[in-house]
Structure 1
Amino acid sequence: MTDNIGTFFPRFDFDFDNRNQIMSGLQILSFNDSKFIIVVFLFAVISSISSPVNGCFTSIFSFGDSVSDTGNLIEISILEIGKIPHSAFPPNGRTFFHRPTGRFCDGRLVIDFLAEALGLPFLPPYHRYKNGTLERFENGVNFAVGGAGALSSSFPGIYNPITIISLVDEVNSFKQFLNLRTDFKQLLRNSLIVMGEIGGNDYSHAFKQGKSIEDVRNFVPSVVDSITSSINELIELGAVTFLVPGNFPIGCSPSYLTLFQGSDKDQYDPLTGCLTWLNQFSQHHNQLLRKELEKIRNLHPDINIVYADYYSTTMRIYNSPNKFGRVWFSHFLRNKKTLSVIHLNQFFSRIVPGFKETLKACCGTGGFYNYNLSGACGYPPATQCCNDPSSYMSWDGIHFTEAVNRLIANVVFEELMNSIHSLNNLCPASTINKLRMIYPKSDM
């Protein structure tokens, strides 16, 4: 990418009150080396304009673990173990919300960006508001719980020290919610179900408890079966559109790199520094998951199942961290009524540097990867937190920063938009065309 990227732009201003003007103007920005950055820039612009995308999904229902939890674990942990999770303490939430919200991140999660892109509000955590009014859940609910596993707490050989909640429990909570609705069939037909990512905790607990790679591989089919069984159960209830993420490359996670620190040199990828055998394990999970999802598609040809390839998306960033720049434009755009070439120059000059740290946590308690197995971001002793989370991939050694979540969400949304069957069932043609103009195909 050129260092003087602004010289390629003509002089034009964008009126943020005119979406069509923004779209037609931004179509000019289509130089070859920066397609992905332009797509992400478009994603940010649209997210900053509070105009809902009408005619598609009226709500989102999310299931999973801390990758998607927007506050459920806080409510559950107080009742279960009397200990508040570290996501409830600063500096969590500092980038976007400017306070802890229960998200294991400095800002927004992938599920937050997806909701924004579809013109929907952030999903309220079910366990915080389940005794309230149904109006709060009008546009969806988040059932994801930090620490939750795909496997039941009674599954032999694995102890979950964080929560007894599993995917089965989340689905049961969802069914309790549906029992309060007289229109739940129509609700499900017009909803997007985000099933995961989940299963990562089952694996991490097993590895931390000394299980061998062979032992953990043996229960991958059980993890995948839990996910697909939940999907089938929701299909029977009337759900028609699912987004199902795969596992991340866990061999690049500071938590795993710390757990297996001191491994033989030949076990590390010389380009990324990730542990190759752990990444191969993630790929094994994903391959089996995709195989089972295809079986569901064959059994239910009218059901839309979109696989979200978290693994490939994040590996692209690990392989070329300088290509994918820092994404500070949410704050940058917030107070700008018009966007001129000067603003664009400022914007691109700030995102060109890319990610400075890929394997070290921004917020942690020290060590080579700034991650300690006995501590966590937000808990004492004093947390060591970087000044610029957007230049780091990992927020706390386990979860990504908002900057990475935004990049992942962009690709996931593209995968969703490219699911023609899903769009034809749920979105009018005018909305499909609008979305395809806003989100052209990226190089990610």
Structure 2
Amino acid sequence: MDRQQQFLLYIFSCFSFLLLFSENTRVYGSSHHHHHHHHRHRHLFDFRPSKLFVFGDSYADTGNNRNSLASSWKVPYGITFPGKPAGRFSDGRVLTDFLAKSIGIKSPIPYRWRKVVGIEHWKNGMNFAYGGTGVLSTLVPEPNMTTQIDFFQDIIHEKFYSGSDLHSSVALVSVAGNDYSNYIATNGTAQGWQPFITKVVNQLVMNMKRIHGMGVKKVVVTALQPLGCLPRSTFTSSFQQCNGTENELVSFHNLLLQQAVIKLNNDTKKGSTFAILDLYDAFMAVFKNKGEKPGSSKFVNPLKPCCAGISTAYSCGSVDANGAKKYAVCDDPGAAFFWDTVHPTQEGWRAVYSALLQEL
């Protein structure tokens, strides 16, 4: 049985547990959910951030993961920007780049390159995100999020960033689901989903508090995107429909996160220090978009990846022993929402970010 089938089996066996929570989830999924949007986003940037510090995984990594297995350094990654593979898990720019641009700064330097470039490149902040990692440890070697925050702490101790630098900064915390893929890969049980999701969110909340405690004024965390809509899940329906059971698990994660962020803000003297970037709603808004909104991208088949292995045994960027391609790339990455089986294209991220801005 391959990993995908195992996953579906797990997911379906989890469904019974999820029915227990679906009452809560539905409330937040409907009017209640939207009631909190404005509360959550209104003050996302009530000041002008001068620096961006980034933690998390491949949705935010701009070049830290140099592991030889990482696809982000293989052709055809980076074909749209910067024109060659440069460490982003996409054909071009990723979430970090769009957030930096909207703040009005350059994308922060990846931590790995901090000593290679001049110190003037540190002025926009620093990116500690590392593709494949999770909130907890995953099958990808370190650094998980705790270790990434340790790196940040070391840099602060080196006194490169002053207290006022940190106070005028924003942190982006990206969580795209690697903890959950790892849970399946290590044979986690169906009964264990609920406590495991709770454990991940609790640790995530501790991480956010820790980053804020180091002096960062604003901490923005991503809600989990609809994992059931990633091509790795939709290929069983020929990329026609999302896996609703997986998305129920995602809703449980997002519900816990939402409750935690409301509590964090209530406990913080300054009100809305913590905010959620609702990738779930943004992805869904893009999938449902028929191109009516001005400037919004319409994708003909948003669930189908642009770059995929010629069979499910292969992935985007894979080659055989002789270097022959084992994958195919679509004619126009700009017309595709997903780049590979997990990551959006640059155009996909642009659409998601404009959907987020409409929420903001």
TM-score of Structure 1 vs Structure 2, range by shorter chain:
0.7 to 0.9
Alignment partner of 2:119 out of 128, 131, 134: 134
Query: Where does 1:247-258 land on structure 2 (aligned, <5 Å)?
Result: 247-258=224-235
Query: Where does 1:13-412 land on structure 2 (aligned, <5 Å)?
Result: 56-74=48-66, 77=67, 83-130=68-115, 133-151=118-136, 153=137, 160-181=138-159, 183-196=161-174, 198=175, 200-258=177-235, 261=236, 273-302=241-270, 304-320=273-289, 323=292, 354-367=298-311, 372=312, 374-381=313-320, 382=325, 383-412=327-356
Task: State the shift of 1:84 in Å.
Answer: 4.2
3-state DSSP class of the match of 2:84? coil
3-state DSSP class of the match of 2:170? strand
Alpha-carbon distance between aligned partners in 2 of 1:275 and 1:95, rounded to the nearest angstrom? 30
3-state DSSP class of the match of 1:376? coil
Alpha-carbon distance between aligned partners in 2 of 1:404 and 1:321, rounded to the nearest angstrom? 14
| TM-score, length of structure 2 as denominator length | 0.79
Alpha-carbon distance between aligned partners in 2 of 1:62 and 1:94, rounded to the nearest angstrom? 24
Task: State the shift of 1:256 in Å.
Answer: 2.7
Runs of 4+ with deviation above 4 angstroms: 130-133, 321-327
Kindly indicate whether the alpha-carbon contact (under 8 Å) linking 1:144 and 1:170 is maintained by their aligned counterparts in 2: yes
3-state DSSP class of the match of 1:358? coil
Task: State the shift of 1:182 in Å.
Answer: 5.7
Task: State the shift of 1:192 in Å.
Answer: 0.8
Alpha-carbon distance between aligned partners in 2 of 1:183 and 1:359, rounded to the nearest angstrom? 42
Alpha-carbon displacement from aligned partner over 1:225-248 (angstroms, at most 9, x marks no partner):
121101111222222211111000
Kindly indicate whether the alpha-carbon contact (under 8 Å) linking 1:321 and 1:358 is maintained by their aligned counterparts in 2: no
Task: State the shift of 1:116 in Å.
Answer: 1.4
Q: Could you list the runs of 5+ residues in structure 1 that have no partner in the other structure?
A: 1-52, 78-82, 154-159, 263-267, 328-350, 419-444
3-state DSSP class of the match of 1:202? helix
Kindly indicate whether the alpha-carbon contact (under 8 Å) linking 1:221 and 1:288 is maintained by their aligned counterparts in 2: yes
Q: Which has the higher contact order (CA 8 A, sep 6+)?
A: 1
Q: Could you list the runs of 5+ residues in structure 2 that have no partner in the other structure?
A: 1-44
Which has the greater radius of gyration? 1
Query: CA 1:323–1:92 in structure 2 vs 1: closer, same or farther (change >3 Å)?
Result: farther
Q: 2:20: which partner in 1?
A: none
Alpha-carbon distance between aligned partners in 1 of 2:159 and 2:286, rounded to the nearest angstrom? 42
Alpha-carbon distance between aligned partners in 2 of 1:202 and 1:288, rounded to the nearest angstrom? 16
Query: CA 1:413–1:193 in structure 2 vs 1: closer, same or farther (change >3 Å)?
Result: farther
3-state DSSP class of the match of 1:73? coil
Alpha-carbon distance between aligned partners in 2 of 1:228 and 1:185, rounded to the nearest angstrom? 23
Query: CA 1:221–1:164 in structure 2 vs 1: closer, same or farther (change >3 Å)?
Result: same
Query: CA 1:96–1:321 in structure 2 vs 1: closer, same or farther (change >3 Å)?
Result: farther
Alpha-carbon distance between aligned partners in 2 of 1:217 and 1:199, rounded to the nearest angstrom? 18
Alpha-carbon displacement from aligned partner over 1:373-412 (angstroms, at most 9, x marks no partner):
x433212142210011122111011101111101222233
Kindly indicate whether the alpha-carbon contact (under 8 Å) linking 2:286 and 2:352 is maintained by their aligned counterparts in 1: no
Alpha-carbon distance between aligned partners in 1 of 2:146 and 2:93, rounded to the nearest angstrom? 26
| TM-score, length of structure 1 as denominator length | 0.65
Alpha-carbon distance between aligned partners in 2 of 1:380 and 1:323, rounded to the nearest angstrom? 40
Q: 1:343: which partner in 2?
A: none
User: What code does the residue aligned with 2:229 have?
Assistant: C
Task: State the shift of 1:178 in Å.
Answer: 0.9
3-state DSSP class of the match of 1:222? helix
Alpha-carbon distance between aligned partners in 2 of 1:324 and 1:362, rounded to the nearest angstrom? 24
Q: 1:156: which partner in 2?
A: none
Task: State the shift of 1:224 in Å.
Answer: 0.8
Which range moved further: 248-257 or 201-210? 201-210
Query: CA 1:126–1:322 in structure 2 vs 1: closer, same or farther (change >3 Å)?
Result: same
Alpha-carbon distance between aligned partners in 1 of 2:252 and 2:224, rounded to the nearest angstrom? 9
Query: CA 1:90–1:246 in structure 2 vs 1: closer, same or farther (change >3 Å)?
Result: same
Task: State the shift of 1:207 in Å.
Answer: 2.5
Alpha-carbon displacement from aligned partner over 1:72-91 (angstroms, at most 9, x marks no partner):
011xx2xxxxx241110111
Kindly indicate whether the alpha-carbon contact (under 8 Å) linking 1:199 and 1:223 is maintained by their aligned counterparts in 2: no
3-state DSSP class of the match of 1:138? helix
Aligned residues, how many? 309
Alpha-carbon distance between aligned partners in 2 of 1:72 and 1:364, rounded to the nearest angstrom? 23
Kindly indicate whether the alpha-carbon contact (under 8 Å) linking 2:234 and 2:240 is maintained by their aligned counterparts in 1: no
Alpha-carbon displacement from aligned partner over 1:128-154 (angstroms, at most 9, x marks no partner):
224654322111111100001101x3x
Kindly indicate whether the alpha-carbon contact (under 8 Å) linking 1:361 and 1:394 is maintained by their aligned counterparts in 2: yes
